[in-house]
Amino acid sequence: MSCTTPEPSSTCKRLLPALLLALVSGQCLAAAETSDPVRLGVMQGFPPAMDKRVTRQNAFELPNLRWALRNARAMTPTTGIRRAPSPLALAAGTSVELDQLTFTVGEQSLSLPEYLQATFTDGFIVLHRGKRVYERYFDSFSPEQPHIWASMTKSLTGLLAAGLIVEGKLAPDAKLSSYVPELAGTPFGEATVQQNLDMQVEAVYPARVPPDIGLFAAAGIVPRQADMPDNIYSFLQAATLPAQASATPIWYYQNGSPEAVAWAMRRVTGKSWSALVTERIWSQFAEDDAYSQVDTLGTEMASGGLSSTLRDAARFAEAIRLAWRDNDRTSPFAQAVHLALKPNDNQALIAQSPKGKDRDGYAYRDYWYQKNDGDGSVEAAGRFGQRIYINPRRELVIVKMSSAPDMAPRATSAAAAPVSTRQAADTTAAFNSMVSALLPAVL
């Protein structure tokens, strides 16, 4: 199925924070133009027209964002991640009719297609017991195309770290600087490995190097100002400890911790992050190669640089579900999964964080969200509307890849309020409403 998503008018753009309410109105969804990059001629032709070219300056603007998230390897240097010799089967199951499914977001009743269109979904897939029961592609996105994972990449990094902890190559209670002396005196180096994995690091980023755009600039994704770090290692060394540490533990979601953990993993293994992903994860199940964006030193962006097909993202989630079911825990992959998804008790810390306001009851460990819904469900999430949802008790997997505009500035410290309260259209509350309606329909 191929659908199109209207580009919101200026009025609709102003209403993005309002939890989809304006976006799903008839006026917005009936707009004449779409944000389909192919239909709009984005990067089409030899060469593309000047006003249709995607650059580092305009890549986060619609409709360019939709093209950029599907073509990251055309925007920055990348490194490859090899597929499996025998991929995990992902057979078609009995199709489930979900197009008539409705649920409530705020005070608005939405059908599933309306929700997917309003949140700029590129691809959406539902697996039940490992079989595809619902799969949709929108706005010229296709099963063969890779798509950026954004911060869902962190969950891969957490899984790698868990495996190295199981093997004794990383100690969770050791200071990270014991593996990376260059980070001594920084918030990441002075925190333990586990504190970094759980985002319980009290970092302060300079105003000129915010935790998102500062990293994007260091990796060459957006233009870099003269006084900004030009590689990921230097980005990490720009962060500082707070003048006065908090008297109680904090939860501060930011990009530095996973990049620091990845640095430690490279040091203890002598291998690149992409080689570790290939060896320990991707070669276990994937049908297609993946790739990661890298900086000028060839350093992978371990907090957000992965791209893969929708189906391989679903295979990853299904492999997690199957490994979780492995009570023998004999394989290294299963051992890593069981450690990474071990229940945590930091719900109160997350609830106090601005990013945790719509994640009531959630815990967080090894860059995975633990939903605490009675089913053992976990989630990975990324900027611009990326989602992986795994429900082990219901044997269900959902993956959503999107291009929802989200340029809200991120807070530069745990103590700082967000620079803007603007949120992505696809909130956790909206996603959870969809999941709650979908579960009984599929099962």
Q: Give yes or no: residues 171 and 31 share one domain.
A: no
Identify whether 225 is part of a domain.
yes
Rounded Cα distance between 122 and 402, Å, is 5
Contacts of 273 (CB under 8 A, 6+ apart): 157, 160, 262, 265, 266, 292, 299, 300, 302
Q: Give yes or no: residues 400 and 257 share one domain.
A: yes
Identify whether 14 is part of a domain.
no
Q: Give yes or no: residues 277 and 348 share one domain.
A: yes
Tell me the per-residue pLDDT of 209-236, one tens digit each, with 9 for 90 and over: 999 999 999 999 999 999 999 999 999 9
Q: Give yes or no: residues 366 and 266 share one domain.
A: yes
DSSP state of 9: P
Rounded Cα distance between 12 and 17, Å, is 10
Q: Give yes or no: residues 157 and 280 share one domain.
A: yes
Give the dihedral of Cα atoms 161, 326, 282, 89; nearest 10 deg.
Answer: -160
344-374 burial string, b = 16+ CB within 10 Å, else e?
bebbebbeebebbeebeebbbbbbbbbbbbe
C-alpha distances out from residue 162 to 75, 106, 370, 380, Å:
31, 38, 16, 16
Q: Give yes or no: residues 239 and 347 share one domain.
A: yes
Q: Give yes or no: residues 291 and 438 share one domain.
A: yes
Q: Can you tell me the mean pLDDT for 74-85? A: 98
Q: Can you tell me the mean pLDDT for 152-179? A: 99
What confidence score (pLDDT) does residue 416 get? 80
Q: What are phi and psi of 48, to 5 degrees?
A: -65, 150
Identify whether 347 is part of a domain.
yes
Identify whether 358 is part of a domain.
yes
**In which element (H, E) is residue 134 found?**
strand 131-138
Per-chain mean pLDDT for the chain: 91
Q: What are phi and psi of 386, to 5 degrees?
A: -85, 140
Domain count, the chain: 2
Quick check: 398 and 388 in contact, CB under 8 A? yes
Q: Give yes or no: residues 68 and 181 share one domain.
A: no
Identify whether 32 is part of a domain.
yes
Quick check: 123 and 136 in contact, CB under 8 A? yes
Q: Give yes or no: residues 54 and 171 share one domain.
A: no
Q: Which two tokens stand for residue 243?
A: 């003048």
Identify whether 135 is part of a domain.
yes
Identify whether 38 is part of a domain.
yes
Domain with 55, as residue range(s), is 2-9+25-75
DSSP state of 365: E
Rounded Cα distance between 191 and 365, Å, is 15
Task: Quickly state the pLDDT bin for 354 (edges 50, 70, 90).
Answer: confident
Q: Give yes or no: residues 230 and 293 share one domain.
A: yes
| CATH code where residue 316 lies | 3.40.710.10
Q: Give yes or no: residues 272 and 229 share one domain.
A: yes
Least confident of 54-63, 299-308, 362-371, 410-419: 410-419
Q: Can you tell me the mean pLDDT for 142-153? A: 98
What confidence score (pLDDT) does residue 250 get? 95
Quick check: 279 and 270 in contact, CB under 8 A? no
Identify whether 16 is part of a domain.
no
Q: Give yes or no: residues 130 and 224 share one domain.
A: yes
